[in-house]
């Protein structure tokens, strides 16, 4: 459990490891690990067992370097039934990512789910990182594609499991597991060649109607790129018991 995405430096400072490196540039992190670290900070900020994070939005304010980061969190809007919590990551005194999450009182009503179940978990097989993609994060997650694959244009469905904890000696929480992979929707359902195009998301929004169970999170993703518009990647998020929520990413689409 020592080979984690982040190593603690004390005073809420964290050093990213190679597992955070994104596919665009070895100097910068994939959006998933910092989103999970921000989710952990939100969970630990005045924690409440009677609430669930129903919505979390991560704004990526600039490239997040694979270098020492400072983490801060606070309750923006306290409340008995709903409350808004914020966490931020800073590099060199400048904010590089900010997350805000609504914690909502857990419901006591039980309704049978009506959503379609996700595809079955495929048998284990090797996942090949395409030429031109920087490895790091991609090998830190186990990927089992039920449809599509890396580098193949079009919608894709991937079952995911973290190979490492977010921080040493601590099992990732259900929320952390979701945020660590929900930012991959645009990557697995890419419509353009990553070696010649950027389709980078400046934000990620995840809505959850329940917490995932177990290690596996399924991401069923598709990307829309419209003339005169912007890119949008949307994902249905599930665990082995069925859907748990949805994710969405606005995309900057530009030639590299």
Which homologous superfamily is 6-106+136-255 in? Answer: Acyl-CoA thioesterase, double hotdog domain (2.40.160.210)
Asked if 76 and 86 touch (Cβ cutoff 8 Å), the reply is yes
pLDDT of residue 129: 80
Could you report the per-residue pLDDT of 146-177, keeping only the tens digit for each? Answer: 999 998 999 999 999 999 999 999 999 999 99
Tokens 């996700």, residue located: 118
In 3-state terms, what secondary structure has residue 153? coil
Q: Count the neighbouring beta carbons within 10 Å of the beta carbon of residue 70.
A: 17
Could you report the per-residue pLDDT of 218-256, keeping only the tens digit for each? Answer: 999 999 998 888 899 999 999 999 999 999 999 999 888
Query: Domain-by-domain residue ranges, the chain?
Result: 6-106+136-255
Local mean pLDDT, 10-residue blocks, the chain (256 residues): 86 96 93 98 96 97 96 97 98 97 90 86 83 90 94 95 96 97 95 86 96 95 91 97 96 89
pLDDT of residue 255: 87
pLDDT of residue 125: 77
Asked if 39 and 102 touch (Cβ cutoff 8 Å), the reply is no
Angle value at C-alpha 52, between 47 and 55, nearest 5 degrees = 110
pLDDT of residue 120: 95
> pTM score, two decimals?
0.95
Cα(156)–Cα(149) distance, integer angstroms: 7
Cα(9)–Cα(44) distance, integer angstroms: 18
Strand partners, 56: 101, 206
CB-based burial of residue 57 (10 Å sphere; 0-12 exposed, 13-18 middle, 19+ buried)? middle
């Amino acid at each position: 459990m020592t080979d984690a995405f982040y190593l603690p430096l004390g005073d809420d400072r964290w050093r990213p490891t190679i597992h955070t490196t994104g596919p665009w540039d070895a100097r910068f992190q994939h959006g998933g690990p910092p989103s999970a670290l921000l989710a952990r900070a939100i969970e630990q900020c005045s924690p409440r067992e009677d609430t669930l994070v129903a919505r979390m939005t991560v704004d990526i304010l600039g490239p997040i370097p694979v270098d020492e980061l400072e983490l801060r969190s606070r309750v923006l809007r306290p409340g008995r039934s709903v409350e808004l919590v914020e966490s931020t990551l800073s590099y060199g005194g400048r904010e590089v990512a900010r997350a805000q999450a609504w914690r909502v009182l857990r419901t006591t009503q039980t309704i049978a789910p009506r959503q379609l179940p996700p595809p079955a978990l495929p048998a284990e097989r090797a996942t090949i990182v395409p030429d031109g993609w920087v490895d790091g994060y991609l090998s830190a997650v186990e990927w089992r594609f039920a449809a599509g694959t890396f580098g193949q244009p079009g919608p894709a469905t991937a079952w995911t499991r973290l190979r490492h904890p977010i921080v040493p000696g601590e099992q990732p929480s259900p929320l952390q597991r979701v945020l660590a992979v929900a930012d991959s929707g645009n990557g697995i359902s890419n419509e353009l060649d990553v070696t010649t195009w950027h389709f980078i998301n400046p934000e990620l929004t995840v809505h959850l109607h329940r917490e995932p169970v177990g290690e596996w999170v399924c991401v069923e993703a598709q990307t829309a790129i419209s003339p005169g518009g912007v890119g949008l990647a949307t994902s249905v998020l599930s665990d082995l018991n069925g859907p748990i929520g949805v994710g969405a990413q606005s995309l900057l689409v530009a030639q590299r």
